[in-house]
Chains A and B, each alone.
Chain A
């Protein structure tokens, strides 16, 4: 009971300090990177941009979008950008209907959506650029075990319900040096439909197709079992039990244990760099137009400097906008997001992984093509 109280206090203190740190660095980033940022905007449009720009979409990148809109407004006081985290599907829908000028989405636009985008894009077409990379951590709470290592088939077995005890031989094989307790495993999943679940199940079905037969899905496919609402809810459920295991955005793991994943022959701890490298090493999706940067995440990478359990969120924008003001504004905002400064600001605010320089440069080149109609 005392331990729990202390933990709560620690969590509260952590939350408080991170809020303070966040607000501090938000202001700092706005003022310090002011020079370089407005240079970017200047080179894109000739002047600093102004006007109002509304976007909507995925909630995964919400805190990053918060940092971007705030910093962008600080750099361009005449401009105002808003982001409504309504979810990927609803965001894409609003974007294609012309309700918002850009969308954030956890899965890239589908072919038919790109075909459909001609109306919203003045006869042009929409394209995606990656803006947000976040490693997904397999989090657990198991008293006495601090250094858990897991292979994909074991994780799949645990979440599919075929491995039910911590002293299961499969887990012991992954952790030869650990002493595992005789305790029931309580897997915890997301109760809302989410991009995190989709990427996690995609990882499982790519690496352990025999143990995980449910495919890559947004909504948890198995009835029953423990679950939590949104990332924070899941984390609190995992924290509330003993022998619990779940999956969540790595930056939200708090003081829970994070399992090392088996990549190739080694067990890899998640790092933002390894996550970004996994995205860079993955092939591009085929059949995409030039400048439409969509990554076909390779979950089965064997290079131990990569961490393939990762979520990529995209920005969907038009290549043609009705007027020069909107085109310049979208161009300036998108350039800022994928610029190293923008990526750094997001990494500070949201704790995600920044795009690698190559990917950032490539995304900038795509965004340069945005133009006004006529």
Chain B
């Protein structure tokens, strides 16, 4: 880490150096290993585009019957309005993911800082390992745990919030057990995305140039000031990227939401009231089993919306990252 940027590249150039400089380039390019490897890596890179394009085309073709017969295209008042159908689902999906991020990111950054800068090595290593392990737990397990264990334990907290902070729209409305509401779902989602955000953020914080940190300490900065002035600015884009990974998982999460949330289709802010929100993925999962072809087309259309939406959110995140790194 302490070496300058130029040095690491020179040892790599060393091995081919003994041969005559003029022929090296030509000879290395012709080696079959190189050709195969570059072909493979280019192929894998293109495969991503191909898969994405195929998924997009599939979604478009299969949802076309729904788009074609929608109220928006036909102008027929009796037809199903796709906008009216999709909008509450999009709202619910985004609300769940944002609430989950709001809860998970600060805690994840805290855990990552603890592991990278505060914990003794003997604790940091197993803790990091544990976080990686948690990131691999399937979401259905989180859903089961959330539905069976966590939600009943959140009851007193939610009743308290509703009673004392009910004047905030978020906590208003009528609250009744079991707490199969948006708040429970987003707590389970937050727990679920916590490990992945933590794991990525920790890696970034560990990359902070040692020299800069030492310089800050040498200038008389405290531990916290060092983190504030060196580690956090350095890791900012990494934290955003990690959050986007978590957001992606939260947006598309199906089982955990399905098992914890009693769905509804409103634009309500009341996250403690049941039967108000639903997410796109959970809606698809719960309705696909007995779906008639036209309902199926509509469900696939919501999938298309989610696909496009994830794209947009990722683009926004990239924009944020590039802007922060520039400044």
Contacts and interface: CB of A to CB of B under 8 A. Distances in A.
B290 A192 contact: yes
A236 B147 contact: yes
A89 B290 contact: yes
Given A226-B262, A229-B258, A242 B275 contact: no
A8 B178 CA distance: 16
B279 interface: no
B286 interface: yes
Interface in B285-326: 285-287, 289-293, 295-296
Nearest to B268: A224
Interface string B200-240: 00000000000000000000000000000000000000000
Contacts of B134: none
A8 B145 CA distance: 13
Nearest to A195: B290
A192 B286 contact: yes
Contacts of B147: 236, 240
A241 B177 contact: yes
B293 A93 contact: yes
Contact of A192 (B264, B273, B287): B287
A59 B296 CA distance: 16
Interface string A213-227: 000001000011111
Contact of A224 (B148, B177, B178, B276): B276
Given A224-B264, A226-B274, A237-B262, A93 B286 contact: no
Interface string B249-278: 000000000110011111000000111100
A244 B276 CA distance: 18
Nearest to A218: B290
B204 to A, nearest CB: 38
A209 to B, nearest CB: 25
B180 A237 contact: yes
A181 interface: no
Contacts of B273: 224
Contacts of B266: 223-224
Contacts of B258: 229, 233
A256 interface: no
A193 interface: yes
A226 B180 contact: yes
A29 B94 CA distance: 52
B125 interface: no
A88 interface: yes
B39 interface: no
A59 B287 CA distance: 13
B110 interface: no
A186 interface: yes
B194 to A, nearest CB: 24
Interface residues of B, number: 29
Interface in A73-97: 85-90, 93
Contacts of B180: 226-227, 237
A186 B289 contact: no
B176 A186 contact: yes
Contacts of A282: none
Looking at chain B's contact residues, is the secondary structure mostly helix, strand, loop, or mixed?
A: loop
A191 interface: yes
Interface string B180-192: 1000000000000
B175 to A, nearest CB: 11
Interface residue SS majority, chain A: mixed
Contacts of A194: 290
A237 B262 CA distance: 9
Contact of A240 (B151, B293, B295): B151
B152 interface: yes
B289 A59 contact: yes
B98 to A, nearest CB: 22
Among B180, B258, B293: residue with most chain A CB under 10 A: B180
B289 A225 contact: no
Contacts of A88: 290
Nearest to A186: B176
Contact of B275 (A8, A59, A89, A225): A225
A10 interface: no
Given A191-B286, A192-B286, A240-B152, A93 B292 contact: yes
B178 A240 contact: yes
A87 B291 contact: yes
A19 interface: no
B287 A193 contact: yes
A228 interface: yes
A184 interface: yes
Nearest to B147: A236
A8 B276 CA distance: 29
A87 B178 contact: no
B289 A87 contact: yes
B316 to A, nearest CB: 31
A87 B262 contact: no
A300 B275 CA distance: 32
A93 B293 CA distance: 8
A74 B176 CA distance: 50
Interface string A161-201: 00000000000000000000000101000011111000000
11 contacts: A87-B290, A89-B290, A93-B292, A223-B265, A224-B264, A225-B275, A227-B263, A230-B286, A230-B289, A240-B177, A244-B178
- Give 3 closest A-B pairs by Cβ, nearest first: A224-B275, A87-B290, A89-B292
Interface of A: 4, 8, 59, 85-90, 93, 184, 186, 191-195, 218, 223-230, 233, 236-237, 240-242, 244
Given A93-B292, A192-B289, A240-B178, 20 more contacts: A4-B152, A8-B148, A87-B289, A89-B292, A89-B293, A89-B295, A186-B176, A192-B290, A193-B287, A193-B290, A193-B295, A194-B290, A224-B274, A224-B275, A225-B262, A225-B264, A227-B275, A230-B286, A233-B259, A240-B152
Interface of B: 147-148, 151-152, 176-178, 180, 258-259, 262-266, 273-276, 285-287, 289-293, 295-296
